[in-house]
Amino acid sequence: MRTFYLAVLLSCISPAAHSQADCLREFTEFIAQFETSPEFQRRNTRFPLSTVRTDRAAQPEPKTVFHTINSPADPRYADVVFPAPAKQAAIPLKQRIKKGSGARFVLFTRPGTGGTLTYTFEMSAGCWQLIKFEDVFR
Protein backbone atom coordinates (compact mmCIF):
# COMPACT_ATOMS: atom_id res chain seq x y z
CA MET A 1 0.00 0.00 0.00
CA ARG A 2 2.85 2.40 0.83
CA THR A 3 4.42 1.72 -2.55
CA PHE A 4 1.18 2.70 -4.27
CA TYR A 5 0.95 6.03 -2.40
CA LEU A 6 4.61 6.74 -3.10
CA ALA A 7 4.08 6.10 -6.82
CA VAL A 8 1.05 8.41 -6.86
CA LEU A 9 2.95 11.12 -4.99
CA LEU A 10 5.95 10.90 -7.32
CA SER A 11 3.76 11.09 -10.40
CA CYS A 12 2.17 14.28 -9.05
CA ILE A 13 5.45 16.08 -8.40
CA SER A 14 7.26 14.98 -11.54
CA PRO A 15 8.73 17.96 -13.45
CA ALA A 16 7.52 16.50 -16.74
CA ALA A 17 4.11 18.07 -17.34
CA HIS A 18 3.79 16.66 -20.83
CA SER A 19 2.48 13.48 -22.34
CA GLN A 20 4.60 10.90 -24.10
CA ALA A 21 3.07 12.20 -27.37
CA ASP A 22 5.15 15.36 -26.82
CA CYS A 23 8.37 13.37 -26.57
CA LEU A 24 10.15 13.85 -29.83
CA ARG A 25 13.53 12.29 -29.12
CA GLU A 26 15.19 13.67 -32.26
CA PHE A 27 16.08 17.27 -31.38
CA THR A 28 15.57 18.65 -34.91
CA GLU A 29 11.99 17.31 -34.92
CA PHE A 30 11.42 18.59 -31.39
CA ILE A 31 12.67 22.13 -32.11
CA ALA A 32 10.62 22.36 -35.33
CA GLN A 33 7.49 21.68 -33.24
CA PHE A 34 8.67 23.88 -30.35
CA GLU A 35 9.17 26.97 -32.52
CA THR A 36 5.75 26.74 -34.15
CA SER A 37 3.48 25.92 -31.21
CA PRO A 38 3.17 28.04 -28.05
CA GLU A 39 1.12 25.23 -26.44
CA PHE A 40 3.88 22.70 -27.20
CA GLN A 41 6.36 25.18 -25.70
CA ARG A 42 4.37 25.42 -22.45
CA ARG A 43 4.08 21.64 -22.16
CA ASN A 44 7.81 21.19 -22.75
CA THR A 45 9.11 23.85 -20.37
CA ARG A 46 10.36 22.77 -16.96
CA PHE A 47 9.13 25.02 -14.18
CA PRO A 48 10.52 26.71 -12.28
CA LEU A 49 12.36 28.15 -15.30
CA SER A 50 15.60 30.03 -14.73
CA THR A 51 16.08 33.23 -16.71
CA VAL A 52 19.00 35.60 -17.09
CA ARG A 53 18.60 39.05 -18.65
CA THR A 54 20.68 42.12 -19.21
CA ASP A 55 18.88 45.16 -17.77
CA ARG A 56 20.06 47.77 -20.27
CA ALA A 57 18.24 50.56 -18.41
CA ALA A 58 20.16 50.02 -15.15
CA GLN A 59 22.35 52.90 -13.98
CA PRO A 60 25.22 53.64 -14.04
CA GLU A 61 25.63 50.67 -16.42
CA PRO A 62 23.67 47.62 -17.58
CA LYS A 63 23.49 44.76 -15.11
CA THR A 64 22.62 41.07 -15.19
CA VAL A 65 19.28 40.16 -13.60
CA PHE A 66 18.26 36.63 -12.59
CA HIS A 67 14.63 35.51 -12.30
CA THR A 68 12.74 32.32 -11.69
CA ILE A 69 9.48 31.83 -13.55
CA ASN A 70 7.24 29.43 -11.66
CA SER A 71 4.50 28.87 -14.24
CA PRO A 72 3.22 29.99 -17.65
CA ALA A 73 0.87 32.34 -15.74
CA ASP A 74 3.84 34.46 -14.63
CA PRO A 75 3.78 37.66 -16.76
CA ARG A 76 7.53 37.31 -17.40
CA TYR A 77 6.91 34.04 -19.24
CA ALA A 78 5.63 36.01 -22.25
CA ASP A 79 9.18 37.36 -22.74
CA VAL A 80 10.56 33.82 -22.96
CA VAL A 81 8.35 32.57 -25.80
CA PHE A 82 10.48 31.06 -28.57
CA PRO A 83 10.31 33.21 -31.72
CA ALA A 84 8.26 31.67 -34.52
CA PRO A 85 9.94 31.30 -37.93
CA ALA A 86 8.08 34.33 -39.35
CA LYS A 87 9.31 36.52 -36.47
CA GLN A 88 12.85 35.16 -36.88
CA ALA A 89 12.79 36.23 -40.54
CA ALA A 90 11.17 39.63 -39.87
CA ILE A 91 13.63 40.83 -37.18
CA PRO A 92 15.98 39.13 -38.62
CA LEU A 93 17.42 36.61 -36.20
CA LYS A 94 20.15 34.12 -37.01
CA GLN A 95 19.57 30.71 -35.38
CA ARG A 96 22.36 28.34 -34.37
CA ILE A 97 22.11 25.04 -32.48
CA LYS A 98 24.97 23.85 -30.28
CA LYS A 99 25.33 20.47 -28.62
CA GLY A 100 26.50 20.09 -25.05
CA SER A 101 26.80 17.15 -22.70
CA GLY A 102 23.17 16.07 -22.39
CA ALA A 103 21.92 19.49 -23.51
CA ARG A 104 21.16 21.48 -26.63
CA PHE A 105 21.48 25.24 -26.91
CA VAL A 106 19.50 27.26 -29.44
CA LEU A 107 21.13 30.65 -29.89
CA PHE A 108 19.61 33.60 -31.71
CA THR A 109 21.70 36.59 -32.69
CA ARG A 110 20.56 39.80 -34.26
CA PRO A 111 23.32 41.06 -36.52
CA GLY A 112 24.85 44.34 -35.40
CA THR A 113 23.30 44.42 -31.90
CA GLY A 114 25.59 42.28 -29.76
CA GLY A 115 22.53 40.59 -28.29
CA THR A 116 22.05 36.86 -27.92
CA LEU A 117 18.98 34.89 -26.92
CA THR A 118 19.89 31.43 -25.64
CA TYR A 119 17.37 28.67 -24.99
CA THR A 120 18.82 25.69 -23.09
CA PHE A 121 17.15 22.30 -23.47
CA GLU A 122 17.82 19.11 -21.55
CA MET A 123 16.57 15.57 -21.99
CA SER A 124 14.51 14.50 -18.97
CA ALA A 125 12.60 11.22 -18.72
CA GLY A 126 13.13 10.72 -22.46
CA CYS A 127 11.74 14.13 -23.42
CA TRP A 128 13.39 17.43 -24.33
CA GLN A 129 12.49 20.34 -22.04
CA LEU A 130 13.37 24.03 -21.96
CA ILE A 131 15.26 24.53 -18.68
CA LYS A 132 16.83 28.01 -19.02
CA PHE A 133 16.46 31.22 -21.01
CA GLU A 134 19.08 33.95 -21.39
CA ASP A 135 18.72 37.38 -23.05
CA VAL A 136 22.20 38.85 -22.81
CA PHE A 137 23.81 41.88 -24.45
CA ARG A 138 27.55 42.08 -24.48
What's the rounded Cα separation, in Å, for the pair 131 and 138? 22
Residue-level pLDDT at 46: 96
pTM assigned to the model: 0.81
Closest CA relative to residue 97, chosen from 89, 107, 112: 107
Residue 4's pLDDT is 36
Q: Which residues of 90-115 are buried (b: 16+ CB within 10 A; e: fewer)?
A: eeebeeeeeeeeeebebbbbeeeeeb
CA 138 – CA 117 distance, rounded (Å): 11
Residues of the chain scoring pLDDT < 70: 1-22, 138
